[in-house]
């Protein structure tokens, strides 16, 4: 039974880290006039409300994008994607990763999104009526292996689990290794929480050891509430587009100064 709902956390400091790097990677990949295959294993509902009861209850968005929006100039791809979504859905709208990707991808790219929770799938379908988007109500990690290598081969996958199933931390290094063997040109971006109990550490270390050319980037921040276990955000990227390191370095400086 899945209980995680991203609406309580959308726009928090972890989302800002993940979405800024996702948008920067896609901005780079879409500069070439060649089609891309884009995947998400854990898509969520796509569209969130910063003034919704869930966001107001936790206050995470207020401590997140509400506080750091000026880190991103209007021409930053994350700011551009947010502006496209607020123009359509109003100033309190916040795009999840599928809407950020849709804002930056071109009409000839393909999107395949997996999400398991029925209510999230229904909301995602409403938020993304585009015909070139394939929505799958299935296990995202199984989808990652069954749909790769894609055609076109050039492309990117975001793996963004909720880590409700604690075995995800053990499964992910092998999954990423298999995925990389099947799709060695794919840009694979994994998000994970940095936790005060270090539950993420073995996974992150294994990934860094196995893939020494990958981009591994962590930022730290104060927990959203006293005693809350998440004290930072981690991103691990296979085949990182070259300029992503510069954006990661810039974000390191900004988070350190928070
Ligand atoms: N990627 C989204 C974003 O950045 O806007 C947030 C996704 S949220 C962290 C994780 C999502 O994964 C939740 O919506 C949850 O319902 C979904 N989920 C949990 N287990 C899943 C599975 N095995 N396969 C696909 N989706 C799953």
Q: What is the pLDDT of residues 43-90, one digit of tens each?
A: 999 999 999 999 999 999 999 999 999 999 999 999 999 999 999 999
For residue range 1-49, list pLDDT tens digits in order. 678 999 999 999 999 999 999 999 999 999 999 999 999 999 999 999 9
Which two structure tokens, joined as six digits, stand for 211? 């893939």
Alpha helices in 6-151 (DSSP H): 13-29, 53-58, 60-63, 65-68, 77-89, 97-104, 118-127, 140-146
Environment class of residue 126 by beta-carbon count within 10 Å: exposed (0-12), middle (13-18) or buried (19+)? exposed
Strand partners, 133: 111
Q: Give the closest residue to 57 by CA, choosing from 9, 17, 120.
A: 9
Ligand 1 centroid to residue 115 C-alpha, Å: 6
For the Cβ of 120 lying below 6 angstroms from any atom of ligand 1, the answer is yes
Query: SS3 for 126?
Result: helix
Contact 61, 55 (CB under 8 A): yes
Residue whose Cα lies nearest atom 13 of ligand 1: it is 44
Q: Which atom of ligand 1 is nearest to the CA of 43?
A: 1
Mutation choice for ligand 1 from 42, 102, 157, 189, CB with most ligand atoms inside 8 A: 42
How many residues would you count in the chain? Answer: 258
For the Cβ of 5 lying below 6 angstroms from any atom of ligand 1, the answer is no
For the Cβ of 94 lying below 6 angstroms from any atom of ligand 1, the answer is no
Chain centre distance of CA 57: 23
Q: Give the closest residue to 251 by CA, choosing from 83, 50, 23, 44.
A: 23
Which two structure tokens, joined as six digits, stand for 197? 């109990």
- The residue-averaged pLDDT of 228-232 equals 95
For the Cβ of 115 lying below 6 angstroms from any atom of ligand 1, the answer is yes
Ligand 1 centroid to residue 33 C-alpha, Å: 30
For the Cβ of 42 lying below 6 angstroms from any atom of ligand 1, the answer is yes
Report, as residue numbers or ranges, the catalytic residues.
160
Query: SS3 for 180?
Result: helix
For residue range 120-178, list pLDDT tens digits in order. 999 999 999 777 799 999 999 999 999 999 999 999 999 999 999 889 999 999 999 99
Q: Which pLDDT score is estimated for 1?
A: 62
> How many other CB atoms are found less than 10 A from the CB of residue 96?
27
Domains of the chain, first to last: 6-256 (3.40.50.150)
Environment class of residue 76 by beta-carbon count within 10 Å: exposed (0-12), middle (13-18) or buried (19+)? middle
Distance CA 109, CA 131 (A): 12
For the Cβ of 96 lying below 6 angstroms from any atom of ligand 1, the answer is yes
Ligand 1 centroid to residue 244 C-alpha, Å: 24
Ligand 1 centroid to residue 199 C-alpha, Å: 19
């Amino acid at each position: 039974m899945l209980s995680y709902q991203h609406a309580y956390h959308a726009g928090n400091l972890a989302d800002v880290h993940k979405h800024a790097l996702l948008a920067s990677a896609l901005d780079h990949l879409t500069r070439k006039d060649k089609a891309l295959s884009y995947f998400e294993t854990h898509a969520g509902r796509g569209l969130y409300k910063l003034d919704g009861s869930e966001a107001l209850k936790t206050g995470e968005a207020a401590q997140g994008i509400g506080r750091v929006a000026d880190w991103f100039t209007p021409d930053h791809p994350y700011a551009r994607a947010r502006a496209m979504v607020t123009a359509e859905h109003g100033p309190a709208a916040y795009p999840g990763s599928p809407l950020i990707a849709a804002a930056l991808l071109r009409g000839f790219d393909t999107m395949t999104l997996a999400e398991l929770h029925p209510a999230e799938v229904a909301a995602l379908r409403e938020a993304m009526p585009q015909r070139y988007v394939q929505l799958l109500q299935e296990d995202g990690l199984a989808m990652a292996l069954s749909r790769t290598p894609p055609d076109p081969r050039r492309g990117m996958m975001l793996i963004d689990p909720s880590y409700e199933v604690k075995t995800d931390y053990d499964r992910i290094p092998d999954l990423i290794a298999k995925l990389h063997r099947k799709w060695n040109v794919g840009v694979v971006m994994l998000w994970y929480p940095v936790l005060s109990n270090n539950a993420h550490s073995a996974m992150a270390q294994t990934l860094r050891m196995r893939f020494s050319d990958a981009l591994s980037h962590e930022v730290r921040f104060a927990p959203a509430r006293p005693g809350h276990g998440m004290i930072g955000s981690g991103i691990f990227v296979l085949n990182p587009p070259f300029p992503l390191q510069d954006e990661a370095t810039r974000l390191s400086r900004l988070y350190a100064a928070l």
